[in-house]
Protein backbone atom coordinates (compact mmCIF):
# COMPACT_ATOMS: atom_id res chain seq x y z
CA UNK A 1 0.00 0.00 0.00
CA UNK A 2 1.32 3.48 -0.85
CA UNK A 3 0.53 6.76 0.86
CA UNK A 4 1.04 9.38 -1.85
CA UNK A 5 0.13 12.28 0.46
CA UNK A 6 2.56 11.46 3.22
CA UNK A 7 5.59 13.49 2.04
CA UNK A 8 3.37 16.59 1.61
CA UNK A 9 1.83 16.06 5.03
CA UNK A 10 5.27 15.87 6.56
CA UNK A 11 6.31 19.11 4.84
CA UNK A 12 3.24 20.82 6.34
CA UNK A 13 3.49 19.18 9.74
CA UNK A 14 4.08 22.40 11.74
CA UNK A 15 0.95 23.98 10.27
CA UNK A 16 -0.95 20.73 10.64
CA UNK A 17 -0.16 20.39 14.32
CA UNK A 18 -0.96 24.08 14.92
CA UNK A 19 -4.44 23.60 13.41
CA UNK A 20 -4.90 20.30 15.23
CA UNK A 21 -4.07 22.12 18.49
CA UNK A 22 -6.84 24.66 17.78
CA UNK A 23 -9.39 21.83 17.45
CA UNK A 24 -8.21 20.24 20.68
CA UNK A 25 -8.21 23.65 22.41
CA UNK A 26 -11.85 24.16 21.46
CA UNK A 27 -12.84 21.01 23.37
CA UNK A 28 -10.51 21.96 26.22
CA UNK A 29 -12.51 25.18 26.65
CA UNK A 30 -15.77 23.24 26.82
CA UNK A 31 -14.43 20.53 29.16
CA UNK A 32 -13.40 23.28 31.58
CA UNK A 33 -16.61 25.28 31.27
CA UNK A 34 -18.90 22.26 31.64
CA UNK A 35 -16.79 21.01 34.57
CA UNK A 36 -17.13 24.40 36.29
CA UNK A 37 -20.80 24.89 35.50
CA UNK A 38 -21.92 21.43 36.64
CA UNK A 39 -19.76 21.60 39.80
CA UNK A 40 -17.83 18.44 38.80
CA UNK A 41 -14.45 20.20 39.02
CA UNK A 42 -15.32 21.73 42.40
CA UNK A 43 -16.36 18.31 43.74
CA UNK A 44 -13.15 16.67 42.56
CA UNK A 45 -11.13 19.52 44.05
CA UNK A 46 -12.59 18.62 47.47
CA UNK A 47 -12.68 14.80 47.32
CA UNK A 48 -11.00 11.93 45.51
CA UNK A 49 -13.85 9.97 43.91
CA UNK A 50 -14.31 7.11 41.50
CA UNK A 51 -16.44 7.91 38.46
CA UNK A 52 -19.38 5.99 40.01
CA UNK A 53 -19.05 7.96 43.24
CA UNK A 54 -18.85 11.18 41.23
CA UNK A 55 -22.06 10.23 39.42
CA UNK A 56 -23.97 9.53 42.62
CA UNK A 57 -22.55 12.54 44.50
CA UNK A 58 -23.34 14.94 41.65
CA UNK A 59 -26.75 13.38 40.80
CA UNK A 60 -25.94 14.09 37.14
CA UNK A 61 -26.61 11.79 34.21
CA UNK A 62 -24.11 8.84 34.23
CA UNK A 63 -23.64 8.88 30.46
CA UNK A 64 -22.64 12.56 30.44
CA UNK A 65 -20.44 12.35 33.55
CA UNK A 66 -18.52 9.38 32.13
CA UNK A 67 -17.92 11.20 28.83
CA UNK A 68 -16.77 14.35 30.65
CA UNK A 69 -14.54 12.40 33.07
CA UNK A 70 -12.60 10.54 30.41
CA UNK A 71 -12.09 13.77 28.43
CA UNK A 72 -11.07 15.72 31.55
CA UNK A 73 -8.50 13.06 32.50
CA UNK A 74 -7.10 12.98 28.97
CA UNK A 75 -6.85 16.80 28.88
CA UNK A 76 -5.03 16.86 32.24
CA UNK A 77 -7.75 18.79 34.09
CA UNK A 78 -8.35 15.85 36.38
CA UNK A 79 -5.79 13.32 37.66
CA UNK A 80 -6.55 9.64 38.10
CA UNK A 81 -4.88 7.35 40.65
CA UNK A 82 -6.04 3.82 41.43
CA UNK A 83 -9.44 4.49 39.87
CA UNK A 84 -10.04 7.69 41.82
CA UNK A 85 -10.21 11.13 40.26
CA UNK A 86 -9.13 14.44 41.74
CA UNK A 87 -8.28 18.01 40.76
CA UNK A 88 -4.77 18.81 41.95
CA UNK A 89 -4.20 22.06 43.94
CA UNK A 90 -2.32 23.77 41.08
CA UNK A 91 -5.17 23.06 38.65
CA UNK A 92 -7.75 24.08 41.27
CA UNK A 93 -6.01 27.45 41.63
CA UNK A 94 -6.10 28.05 37.87
CA UNK A 95 -9.67 26.91 37.28
CA UNK A 96 -11.59 27.69 40.45
CA UNK A 97 -9.79 30.25 42.62
CA UNK A 98 -11.06 33.66 41.46
CA UNK A 99 -8.55 35.49 43.63
CA UNK A 100 -5.55 33.69 42.15
CA UNK A 101 -3.61 36.07 39.84
CA UNK A 102 -3.34 33.22 37.32
CA UNK A 103 -7.04 32.32 37.46
CA UNK A 104 -8.14 31.28 33.96
CA UNK A 105 -11.44 29.52 34.69
CA UNK A 106 -13.51 32.68 34.11
CA UNK A 107 -11.75 33.40 30.82
CA UNK A 108 -12.44 29.87 29.57
CA UNK A 109 -16.09 30.10 30.62
CA UNK A 110 -16.34 33.46 28.85
CA UNK A 111 -15.07 31.82 25.65
CA UNK A 112 -17.55 28.97 25.92
CA UNK A 113 -20.52 31.27 26.67
CA UNK A 114 -19.59 33.83 24.00
CA UNK A 115 -19.12 31.11 21.39
CA UNK A 116 -22.86 30.40 21.67
CA UNK A 117 -23.32 33.70 19.81
CA UNK A 118 -20.81 32.97 17.07
CA UNK A 119 -23.57 31.76 14.74
CA UNK A 120 -24.10 35.50 14.18
CA UNK A 121 -20.78 35.81 12.34
CA UNK A 122 -22.61 35.10 9.11
CA UNK A 123 -24.61 38.32 9.53
CA UNK A 124 -21.47 40.28 10.41
CA UNK A 125 -19.62 39.16 7.30
CA UNK A 126 -22.59 39.41 4.94
CA UNK A 127 -23.98 42.76 6.03
CA UNK A 128 -21.84 44.10 8.90
CA UNK A 129 -24.66 43.34 11.37
CA UNK A 130 -23.36 43.56 14.95
CA UNK A 131 -25.03 42.36 18.17
CA UNK A 132 -25.70 44.12 21.47
CA UNK A 133 -23.42 42.74 24.17
CA UNK A 134 -26.19 42.95 26.79
CA UNK A 135 -27.17 39.45 25.69
CA UNK A 136 -23.87 38.19 27.05
CA UNK A 137 -23.95 39.50 30.62
CA UNK A 138 -23.17 36.09 32.11
CA UNK A 139 -20.15 35.69 29.81
CA UNK A 140 -18.85 39.13 30.83
CA UNK A 141 -19.30 38.34 34.52
CA UNK A 142 -17.12 35.27 34.09
CA UNK A 143 -14.32 37.25 32.45
CA UNK A 144 -14.29 40.39 34.60
CA UNK A 145 -13.95 38.75 38.04
CA UNK A 146 -10.26 38.43 37.24
CA UNK A 147 -10.05 42.18 36.40
CA UNK A 148 -11.71 43.07 39.69
CA UNK A 149 -9.28 41.06 41.81
CA UNK A 150 -6.31 42.31 39.76
CA UNK A 151 -7.49 45.89 40.38
CA UNK A 152 -8.06 45.28 44.12
CA UNK A 153 -4.56 43.81 44.42
CA UNK A 154 -3.02 46.79 42.59
CA UNK A 155 -4.92 49.17 44.87
CA UNK A 156 -3.54 47.42 47.96
CA UNK A 157 -0.02 48.20 46.69
CA UNK A 158 -0.86 51.87 46.00
CA UNK A 159 -0.56 53.55 49.40
CA UNK A 160 -2.25 56.81 48.38
CA UNK A 161 -5.36 55.19 46.90
CA UNK A 162 -5.52 52.38 49.47
CA UNK A 163 -5.38 54.81 52.42
CA UNK A 164 -7.90 57.11 50.77
CA UNK A 165 -10.33 54.22 50.35
CA UNK A 166 -9.67 52.93 53.88
CA UNK A 167 -10.34 56.30 55.49
CA UNK A 168 -13.39 56.95 53.30
CA UNK A 169 -13.62 58.59 49.87
CA UNK A 170 -15.95 58.65 46.86
CA UNK A 171 -15.52 56.33 43.87
CA UNK A 172 -17.52 56.31 40.64
CA UNK A 173 -17.55 53.15 38.48
CA UNK A 174 -18.29 54.19 34.87
CA UNK A 175 -19.73 51.24 32.93
CA UNK A 176 -20.13 49.25 36.12
CA UNK A 177 -21.91 46.37 34.32
CA UNK A 178 -23.56 44.01 36.80
CA UNK A 179 -21.80 45.66 39.76
CA UNK A 180 -19.21 42.97 40.56
CA UNK A 181 -16.41 45.41 41.31
CA UNK A 182 -18.64 47.74 43.34
CA UNK A 183 -19.77 44.84 45.55
CA UNK A 184 -16.16 43.75 46.14
CA UNK A 185 -14.99 47.33 46.85
CA UNK A 186 -17.82 47.95 49.30
CA UNK A 187 -16.89 44.79 51.17
CA UNK A 188 -13.18 45.73 51.25
CA UNK A 189 -13.59 49.45 51.98
CA UNK A 190 -16.80 49.92 54.01
CA UNK A 191 -15.98 53.55 54.92
CA UNK A 192 -15.98 54.68 51.31
CA UNK A 193 -18.95 55.71 49.22
CA UNK A 194 -19.54 54.06 45.85
CA UNK A 195 -21.64 55.02 42.83
CA UNK A 196 -22.12 53.23 39.50
CA UNK A 197 -23.41 54.18 36.05
CA UNK A 198 -24.04 51.97 33.05
CA UNK A 199 -26.15 52.52 29.91
CA UNK A 200 -27.49 48.96 29.82
CA UNK A 201 -30.88 48.60 31.58
CA UNK A 202 -30.32 44.84 32.00
CA UNK A 203 -26.89 45.34 33.59
CA UNK A 204 -28.20 48.08 35.90
CA UNK A 205 -31.11 45.91 37.09
CA UNK A 206 -28.70 43.11 37.96
CA UNK A 207 -26.13 45.45 39.51
CA UNK A 208 -28.77 46.90 41.85
CA UNK A 209 -29.22 43.40 43.30
CA UNK A 210 -25.54 42.37 43.33
CA UNK A 211 -24.18 45.64 44.73
CA UNK A 212 -27.08 46.59 47.02
CA UNK A 213 -27.47 49.32 48.41
CA UNK A 214 -25.02 51.19 46.15
CA UNK A 215 -26.65 53.85 43.97
CA UNK A 216 -26.53 52.72 40.34
CA UNK A 217 -27.95 54.83 37.53
CA UNK A 218 -28.73 53.95 33.93
CA UNK A 219 -26.49 56.37 32.11
CA UNK A 220 -23.69 56.40 29.53
CA UNK A 221 -20.28 57.92 30.20
CA UNK A 222 -20.97 60.42 27.41
CA UNK A 223 -23.93 61.99 29.25
CA UNK A 224 -22.70 62.07 32.88
CA UNK A 225 -22.93 65.53 34.44
CA UNK A 226 -20.97 65.02 37.70
CA UNK A 227 -18.69 67.89 38.69
CA UNK A 228 -15.74 67.68 41.12
CA UNK A 229 -17.49 65.00 43.17
CA UNK A 230 -15.22 61.95 43.17
CA UNK A 231 -11.74 61.04 44.42
CA UNK A 232 -11.47 57.99 42.16
CA UNK A 233 -13.03 57.07 38.82
CA UNK A 234 -12.91 53.46 37.69
CA UNK A 235 -13.57 52.23 34.15
CA UNK A 236 -13.29 48.45 33.91
CA UNK A 237 -13.28 47.28 30.30
CA UNK A 238 -15.99 49.80 29.46
CA UNK A 239 -14.10 52.49 27.52
CA UNK A 240 -13.73 50.33 24.39
CA UNK A 241 -17.53 50.11 24.25
CA UNK A 242 -18.13 53.88 24.33
CA UNK A 243 -18.96 55.49 20.99
CA UNK A 244 -17.42 58.85 21.95
CA UNK A 245 -14.42 57.95 24.10
CA UNK A 246 -13.07 61.53 24.27
CA UNK A 247 -16.41 62.76 25.62
CA UNK A 248 -16.43 59.99 28.25
CA UNK A 249 -12.91 60.89 29.36
CA UNK A 250 -13.64 64.61 29.57
CA UNK A 251 -16.81 63.90 31.59
CA UNK A 252 -14.70 61.66 33.85
CA UNK A 253 -12.15 64.46 34.31
CA UNK A 254 -14.93 66.91 35.22
CA UNK A 255 -16.41 64.40 37.69
CA UNK A 256 -13.06 64.12 39.52
CA UNK A 257 -11.96 66.42 42.33
CA UNK A 258 -8.68 68.20 41.72
CA UNK A 259 -5.84 65.73 42.40
CA UNK A 260 -8.25 62.80 41.91
CA UNK A 261 -7.29 59.57 40.12
CA UNK A 262 -8.76 57.91 37.06
CA UNK A 263 -8.12 54.14 36.88
CA UNK A 264 -8.85 52.32 33.64
CA UNK A 265 -8.63 48.55 33.21
CA UNK A 266 -8.61 47.77 29.52
CA UNK A 267 -7.34 45.19 27.04
CA UNK A 268 -4.93 46.96 24.67
CA UNK A 269 -3.78 45.71 21.29
CA UNK A 270 -0.04 44.99 21.17
CA UNK A 271 1.95 47.51 19.13
CA UNK A 272 4.62 44.89 18.36
CA UNK A 273 4.98 41.08 18.40
CA UNK A 274 1.26 40.29 17.97
CA UNK A 275 2.13 36.61 17.47
CA UNK A 276 3.66 36.22 20.92
CA UNK A 277 1.75 33.68 22.95
CA UNK A 278 0.56 36.21 25.56
CA UNK A 279 -0.76 38.49 22.77
CA UNK A 280 -2.58 35.80 20.83
CA UNK A 281 -5.75 35.84 22.91
CA UNK A 282 -6.50 39.51 22.26
CA UNK A 283 -5.56 39.12 18.58
CA UNK A 284 -8.14 36.34 18.21
CA UNK A 285 -10.68 38.12 20.40
CA UNK A 286 -10.81 40.99 17.89
CA UNK A 287 -13.28 38.88 15.93
CA UNK A 288 -15.52 38.45 18.99
CA UNK A 289 -15.37 42.23 19.57
CA UNK A 290 -16.12 42.95 15.90
CA UNK A 291 -19.30 40.91 16.28
CA UNK A 292 -20.33 43.28 19.07
CA UNK A 293 -19.33 46.33 17.00
CA UNK A 294 -16.22 47.11 19.08
CA UNK A 295 -12.48 47.50 18.57
CA UNK A 296 -9.68 47.26 21.11
CA UNK A 297 -7.58 50.41 21.60
CA UNK A 298 -3.81 50.72 21.49
CA UNK A 299 -1.56 52.26 24.14
CA UNK A 300 -0.95 55.30 21.90
CA UNK A 301 -4.69 55.93 21.56
CA UNK A 302 -5.06 55.70 25.33
CA UNK A 303 -2.23 58.22 25.90
CA UNK A 304 -3.93 60.62 23.47
CA UNK A 305 -7.28 60.25 25.26
CA UNK A 306 -5.65 61.08 28.60
CA UNK A 307 -3.65 64.08 27.31
CA UNK A 308 -5.33 66.49 29.79
CA UNK A 309 -4.33 64.33 32.77
CA UNK A 310 -0.97 64.26 34.59
CA UNK A 311 1.17 61.24 35.57
CA UNK A 312 -0.25 58.70 33.08
CA UNK A 313 1.04 55.24 34.10
CA UNK A 314 0.54 51.80 32.54
CA UNK A 315 0.71 48.65 34.59
CA UNK A 316 0.73 45.36 32.70
CA UNK A 317 -1.72 43.05 34.49
CA UNK A 318 -1.03 40.18 32.05
CA UNK A 319 -2.81 38.77 29.01
CA UNK A 320 -2.75 42.20 27.22
CA UNK A 321 -4.85 43.75 30.02
CA UNK A 322 -3.50 47.00 31.50
CA UNK A 323 -4.31 49.17 34.48
CA UNK A 324 -3.90 52.76 33.33
CA UNK A 325 -3.88 55.44 36.02
CA UNK A 326 -3.69 59.23 35.70
CA UNK A 327 -4.21 62.25 37.94
CA UNK A 328 -6.37 65.34 37.45
Ligand X SMILES: C[S@@+](CC[C@H](N)C(=O)[O-])C[C@H]1O[C@@H](n2cnc3c(N)ncnc32)[C@H](O)[C@@H]1O
Cα gap 64→211, rounded to integer Å: 36
Q: How many CB atoms lie within 10 A of CB 108?
A: 22
Tell me, letter by letter, the H, E, C secondary structure of 39-97: CHHHHHHHCCECHHHHHHHHCCCHHHHHHHHHHHHHCCCCEEECCEEECCHHHHHHHCC
Nearest to 173 by CA among 124, 115, 234, 92: 234
Count of residues near ligand X by CB under 6 A? 22
Question: Which of 41, 242 has the CB closer to ligand X?
Answer: 242
| Binding of ligand X by 296 (CB under 6 A) | no
Decide if residue 266 touches ligand X (CB under 6 A).
no
Question: Which of the ranges 108-116, 177-185, 283-291, 320-328 carries the binding residues for ligand X, by CB under 6 A?
Answer: 177-185
Name the minimum Å distance from CB 166 to ligand X.
Answer: 22
Q: How far apart are CA 101 and CA 1, in angstroms?
A: 54
Element (H, E) at 3: none
For position 238 contacting ligand X by CB under 6 A, the verdict is yes
Residue nearer to ligand X on the CB measure, 70 or 138 = 138
Q: How far is the CB of 174 from ligand X (least distance, A)?
A: 5
Binding ligand X (rule: CB under 6 A), the pick from 105, 177, 260, 267 is 177
Q: Which of 28, 221, 260, 267 binds ligand X (CB under 6 A)?
A: 221
Of 189-218, binders to ligand X (CB under 6 A) are 198-200, 203
Torsion sign (Cα): 186, 216, 108, 299: negative
Our finding on whether 175 is near ligand X (CB under 6 A) is yes
Put residue 17 in one of left, alpha, beta given phi > 0 → left and psi -120 to 50 → alpha: alpha
- Interface residue with ligand X among 40, 147, 194, 249 (CB under 6 A) is 147
Calpha distance 100→98 (Å, rounded): 6
Spatial distance between the Cα atoms of 2 and 156, rounded to a whole number of angstroms: 66
Least distance between ligand X and beta carbon 68 (Å): 29
Using an 8 Å Cβ cutoff, are 176 and 196 in contact? yes
Write down the least CB distance from residue 226 to ligand X, Å: 13
Question: Nearer Cβ to ligand X, position 38 or 130?
Answer: 130
31, 34, 95, 174: which one binds ligand X (CB under 6 A): 174
Hey, which residues between 301 and 320 contact ligand X (CB under 6 A)?
A: none
Q: Is 176 in the site for ligand X (CB under 6 A)?
A: yes
Residue 140 in the binding site for ligand X (CB under 6 A): yes
For residue 213, whether the previous peptide bond is cis, meaning omega lies within 30 degrees of 0, is yes
Binding mask 81-100 for ligand X (x = CB under 6 A): --------------------
128: left (phi over 0), alpha (psi -120 to 50) or beta: left
| Contacting residues toward ligand X, per CB under 6 A | 140, 144, 147, 174-177, 180-181, 198-200, 203, 220-222, 236-238, 241-242, 248
Amino acid sequence: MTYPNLPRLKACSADFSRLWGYSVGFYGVWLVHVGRQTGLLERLACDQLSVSQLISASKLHPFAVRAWSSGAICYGLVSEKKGRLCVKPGMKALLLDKKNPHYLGGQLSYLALRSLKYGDFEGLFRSGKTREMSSTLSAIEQATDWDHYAFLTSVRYNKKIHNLLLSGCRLLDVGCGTGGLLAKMQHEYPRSNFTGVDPSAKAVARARKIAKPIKITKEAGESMAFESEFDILYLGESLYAAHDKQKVISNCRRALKSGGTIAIVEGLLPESNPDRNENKLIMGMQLDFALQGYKFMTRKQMVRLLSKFARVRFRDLGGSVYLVTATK
